[in-house]
Amino acid sequence: MTASKLDESTSFLSKRRLGIAGLAAVIGCVACCALPFFAAAGIGGGAAAAVGHLLRPGSELVIGGIVFAATLGIMALRSRLKRPTGSGPSCRIDVSR
């Protein structure tokens, strides 16, 4: 059974959106894990060292979850702003007479 275009546009948790949010979460985890290594290598300065010092084991999962939720929230807001409001004309004029 195939879904119509209308069903695809109204579905919020589509495979594409979840995939993008999952990729963003993985990138957030990688950035969180790599920050102490960059600070040890001297890349990023004192701010990276200070943030790297505050990160504890397991914090990369928290950061990944926050990034995942923020990405889904941003995509929901964008889709909500793009949705037509329905204030335009709703009647169709038949000109084939």
Decide if 73 is inside a domain. Answer: yes
Decide if 1 is inside a domain. Answer: no
Q: Which of 7, 20, 9, 5 is nearest to 75 (CA)?
A: 20
Decide if 78 is inside a domain. Answer: yes
**pLDDT 10s digits, 15-72:** 888 898 999 999 988 888 887 777 777 776 777 777 777 777 778 888 888 999 999 9
Domain count, the chain: 1
Decide if 87 is inside a domain. Answer: no
Q: Which of 80, 41, 42, 37 is nearest to 60 (CA)?
A: 37
Decide if 6 is inside a domain. Answer: no
The total of other beta-carbon atoms located within 10 Å of residue 7's CB is 9
CA dist., res. 61 & res. 57, Å (int): 9
Decide if 4 is inside a domain. Answer: no
Q: What is the average pLDDT across 74-86?
A: 78
What's the domain range around 60? 14-82
Decide if 89 is inside a domain. Answer: no
Helix residue spans in the chain (DSSP H): 5-10, 15-41, 45-54, 59-82
